[in-house]
Amino acid sequence: MKKKVVSILLLAAMAASSLTGCGGSNSDSQTSNTSNVGSDSQSSDAVNTDSQPEEGQVINIYSFNDELRTRITAVYSEIESTSEDGTESILKDGSVIRWIINPNQDGVYQDKLDEALNGQLTAAADNKVDIFAAELDYVVKYIDADIDAAMTLESLGINPETDLADQFEFTKTVACDQNGVQRASTWQACPGVLVYRRDIAKEVFGTDDPEEIGKKTKDWAAMKTTAEELKASGYYTFSSYADTFRLYNNSMANAWVAPGETTIKVDQKILDWVTDSKEWKDAGYFDPTVKGQWNSDWFTAMSSSSKVFAFLFPAWGIDTQMVPNWDGEEGSWAVTNAPLSYNWGGTFILAAEGTDNPQHVKDIILALTADTDNLTKISKDYADFTNAKSVMQAAAEDDSFTSDFLGGQNPYTYFTPGADTIKMAPLSAYDQGCVELVQNAFGDYLQDQIDYDKAKENFEIAIRERYPEITEIQWPE
Amino acid sequence: MKQKRKKIDYSKWGYIFILPFFVSFFIFSLIPLVDTIRYSFYEYYRSGLKEIGPNFIGMANYASLLKSDMLKYAGNTLILWLIGFVPQIVIALLLASWFVDARLKIRGQQFFKVVIYLPNLIMASAFAMLFFTLFSNKGPINSILLSLGITENPIDFMGTVFGTRTLVGVMNFLMWFGNTTIMLMAAIMGISPDIFEASEIDGCNSVQRFFCITLPLIRPILAYTLITSIIGGLQMFDVPQILTNGQGSPDRTSTTLIMFLNNHLKSKNYGMAGALSVYLFIVSGILCFIVYRITNDEDPDGSKAAAKKNKKGRR
C-alpha cells in the first residue's frame, strides 16, 4: 500500500513538473537575462547618469527585421564594415554596433525588447539597449511618458522644430507622448496606393495607363463596378478581406481605447469593413483561397500564376513583399490611387532611456531621419517613401525616381499627393492586439464558420485574454 | 569497535549520486511550482511596460476561469488527443504483435522500426509547419488533388473544424505511433515464449492468442502508455499552435488548454495562468489516479500474480 501511495505521488510530481515546463521557458529567459548583467554593473551606473556621458563601446540596436540595418548601413557614414552574418558592424572610431533582430510575429520582438528594457538600469553598459525600432501599431506603448522607456528627442540634443522641419507633420504627431513631447523619429511615411497588374488591366480594360485605371479605383463605388468587370473576366480584385482592412482602420474617428480608459470602443468603420467584406466575398471579388495576410497563400497571390488584380500597399510593401514574391516579367505592375487615402505602418526609431552612447544615437537618428541627402539615397535605392517633404515633392516630378518593377513608372506621383492628405487615426497602446484579434475573430465569420454575434463574442474573449485590464467592450449601435 | 568497522555503509554514495537531481529539481521545478500556485491567488500582469500587482485577490482568478470557456478548451484538448491516440494505440498494437510474431518472420524488421520511429525525431513545431505548408490552400496536396481532378476547387483543410482537428490528430498519431510500437514490442518480447508455445499446442489461433495472452500480459506497459499519453495530451500545444498560427481557429475549436494558458502569458498574466495551471495539475492528478487504480488494483485473471511469479522465478 505504501508503495502505491509513493508511486502515485511520484506520478503526480511528474505530471506537475512536466506541466510547469511550458511556463518555464519564460523564467529561463529571465534568468539568462539577469546573468547577462555580469560583473561590471557598478561602473555602468556611473556612465548612466546624464551629467557627463562617456561614450560606450557597443551600440545595441533592437529591431524586428533587417530593414533598419540595411537603411542605417546605407546612410550612416561612420560604419566601416559589417560582418557577413549581419550581427555586427564596426565603426570608424572602433566602437561596434550590435544588431539584435527578433521577428515581430506572435509578439516575440516586443517580449525580448521589454525584457531588455526592464533590465536596462542594471545591465552592463555594453548590454544596454541604445536604439530600438517600433512599428506604428505599438509605438505608443514605448513613447508613454510615464514609462519613460524612450528618451525625448530634445534630451538627445535634437530639436524637432528645426532639425526635423522637413518631416511630414503626421509622422511627428504620432511620435509624441501624451504631453506633446516627441520621443521617436522615422525615415519613412507610408501613404498607401493601389498596385495592379498591367497585363490583367490590358486584358480587361484595354489599357494599363495608371490615370485611366485610377479613374476606375477612385472611390468604393467605382471600385465595385471595376470589381464586377474583373469578375466577369475571371479575375479577383483583391486577394482577401484583410487587404482592405487598413483603409477602414485608418479612417477611424476615435482610438480603440481612449487615453486613461479601459473600455474598447469598436469603431463603426470596423463594422463597415466587416459588412463590406462580407458583401465583396459573397460576390466573389476576393480570392477564396487566401485567408488573411503574411501567409504563403497570400504571397502566392502576388506571383504570376495568381488571378489577383491588385494589392493595397504603401511603398515598403512594394519593395519588401511584392518584389520578392513576383516571378514574372519585370515591369508587370503599376501603381495608381487607392479608393481611399490611407497610411499603413511605418518604422520608428527610438533612443532607449539609459543609453550609454547618446552621441552615436543622436548621430544615427539624424543621419537616418533628417538628412535630406541620405533620405534621397534611400528613396532611390530602396524605393522607400521617405519622410522629407521637399525630397518627395521633387521626386514626384523627377524622372530619375522611376521604378523598373513598375515598368518605368514614377510611383511618387501617386505617393506624394497621398501623403499630404493623410489624417492619422488616433492611436492607442492597444492597437496591435485589437487589429490582430478583430481580423481573426471576423475572419471566421467571413469564412462562414460562425455567425456575426459569435464573432463579436470571440473578439471579446480574445481581447480580454490579451489585455486583462480591459473592463468593457462597446459596439456601435 | 572492530565489529562496527566491518559493517561499511555505502548508502551515502547513493545519496550523493542522486543529490544533483534533487538539487536541480528543487531549484528549477519545485520553486517555480510553488510560485505558480502562490501567484494564482494574486492579480499580477503587465500592461505594456507597466507592471500591475501582485495584489492578493483570493480565489478570484479561479472563479473567473470557471466562468470563462475553460471547459470548452478542455473538451477540445480531449477530442484532439483521442483523434490521435485511438489509431495510435491500435496500429501500434498491431505492428508490435506482427513484428514479434516468430511465425511471420518479417524481413527488414530493423529498417521498419527505424522508419516508423523517424517522425518522432522531427521537432513537433517543424512537423506542424510542414503540414501547414503541405495542406495550405495553394499547397502541394491541393495541387495534386486538383491535377488529378479529384476536386474542382482547392479544399480548405484548415478552414473547417473537422479538417483542422483531423490534421492535428494525424500529426500526433504519426509522431507517436512508432514510439508506442517499440515500447509495446519490448513488452511483448518480455512474455515468456513458453506460454505462446503452450497455447499453440492447445490449438489457440492467432486472434485468441492476441486477446487472451498478449493483451493481458502487457497491461502494465499499456497503462504506462496511457498515462504518459494523457499527460502529453493535456500539454498539447506546439502542433495546434503552429498549425493555426496561435489562433486555435476556426472559432477557437482547436484551442487547447495550454494554448489558452499561452494566451494569458501574452500579457504576462501570471495570476490567471497560475490558476489555470493549478486546475491542470488537479485534473492530471485525478486522471493518473484513476488510470492507476483501473490498471493495477484488480487482478481478475491472476495475470498480475503470474507476472510476479515469473519475475521471482527469473531472479
Find the DSSP H helices in chain B.
2-6, 11-25, 31-39, 60-67, 70-100, 109-117, 124-134, 140-148, 161-189, 193-201, 206-209, 215-217, 219-234, 238-243, 257-265, 270-296, 303-314
pLDDT for position A438: 94
Q: What is the mean pLDDT of residues B16-41?
A: 94
Instruction: Check: pTM over 0.90? Answer yes or no.
Output: no
Per-residue DSSP letter, A427: P
CATH of A192-343+422-474 among 3.40.190.10, 1.10.3080.10, 3.90.1300.10, 3.40.50.300: 3.40.190.10
B25 has a chain A CB within 8 A of its CB: yes
Confirm whether B241 is domain-assigned.
yes
Give me the residue label for grid cell 522508419: B115
pLDDT in tens, B188-222: 999 988 998 899 899 888 889 889 889 988 888 88
Q: Select from A430, A436, A439, A426 the least CA-distant residue to A473.
A: A430
Test B159 with A22 for CB contact under 8 angstroms: no
Q: Are A291 and B159 a contacting pair at CB < 8 A?
A: yes
pLDDT in tens, B92-131: 999 998 888 877 788 888 898 899 999 999 899 999 999 9
Q: Provide the domain count of chain B.
A: 1
B32-91 confidence digits (pLDDT tens):
999 999 999 999 988 777 788 788 998 999 999 998 889 999 999 999 999 999 999 999
Q: From CA A227, how far away is CA A285, in angstroms rounded?
A: 6
Q: Is residue B277 part of a domain?
A: yes
Report d(CA A453, CA A474) in Å as an integer.
13
Where along chain A do its domains lie?
Answer: 50-189+346-395, 192-343+422-474
Query: Is A142's CB within 8 Å of B49's CB?
Result: yes
pLDDT at residue A104, as a whole number: 84
pLDDT band at A49 (very low <50, low <70, confident <90, very high): very low
CATH code for the domain in which residue B300 is found: 1.10.3720.10
Contacts (Cβ under 8 Å, ≥6 apart) of B65: B272, B275, B276, B279
Question: Helix or strand or coil: residue B274?
Answer: helix
- B159 domain-assigned: yes
Q: Which residues of A touch B288 (CB under 8 A)?
A: 8, 11-12, 15
Q: Which three cell numbers, joined as nine digits, stand for A272? A: 463597415
Residue B100 lies in a domain: yes
A458 neighbourhood in chain B, CB within 8 Å: 251-252
Report how far apart, in Å, the C-alpha atoms of A354 and of each of A48, A117, A201, A357 are.
6, 9, 54, 9
Residues of A in contact with B45 (CB under 8 A): 468-469
| Beta-bridge partners for A150 | A352
Top CATH class of A50-189+346-395 equals: alpha beta
Q: Which residues of A touch B159 (CB under 8 A)?
A: 291, 447, 449
Span A98-149, pLDDT tens digits: 999 998 877 789 889 988 998 888 888 889 999 999 999 889 889 988 888 8
pLDDT band at A31 (very low <50, low <70, confident <90, very high): very low
Residue B274 has a pLDDT of 94
Residue A24: predicted pLDDT:
38
CA distance B79 to chain A (A): 19
Report residue A251 CA to chain centroid gap: 17
Q: Kindly state whether B295 is in contact with chain A, defined as any CB-CB distance less than 8 angstroms.
A: no
> Per-residue confidence at A416, pLDDT binned at 50, 70, 90?
confident
Query: How does pLDDT run across A202-247, given as a tens digit for each residue?
Result: 999 999 999 999 999 999 999 999 999 999 999 999 999 999 999 9
* Spatial distance between the Cα atoms of A247 and A276, rounded to a whole number of angstroms: 12
Q: Is the confidence at residue A12, as pLDDT, over 60?
A: no
CA distance B305 to A51: 82
- The whole-number average pLDDT for the span A21-36 is 39
A50-189+346-395 and A192-343+422-474 have identical folds: yes
Q: Please tell me the predicted confidence (pLDDT) of residue B109.
A: 85
* CB spacing of B32 vs A24 below 8 angstroms: yes
**CA angle, corner A223, sides to A217 and A228, nearest 5?**
130
Residue A93 phi, psi dihedral angles, 5° rounding: -85, 5
Question: Which structural domain range is residue B94 located in?
Answer: 67-314
Digit-coded pLDDT (tens) for A181-193: 999 999 999 999 9
pLDDT classification of A66: cutoffs 50, 70, 90: confident
Residue B250 has pLDDT above 80, yes or no: yes
Tens of pLDDT, residue by residue over A237-269, are 999 999 999 999 988 988 999 888 889 999 999
| CA distances in angstroms from A417 to A22, A165, A344, listed in the order given | 51, 19, 15
Residue B218 included in any domain:
yes
pLDDT tens by residue, A339-384: 988 889 889 999 999 899 999 999 999 999 999 999 999 888 888 8
Chain A / chain B CB contacts < 8 angstroms: 136
Query: Which pLDDT score is estimated for B315?
Result: 53
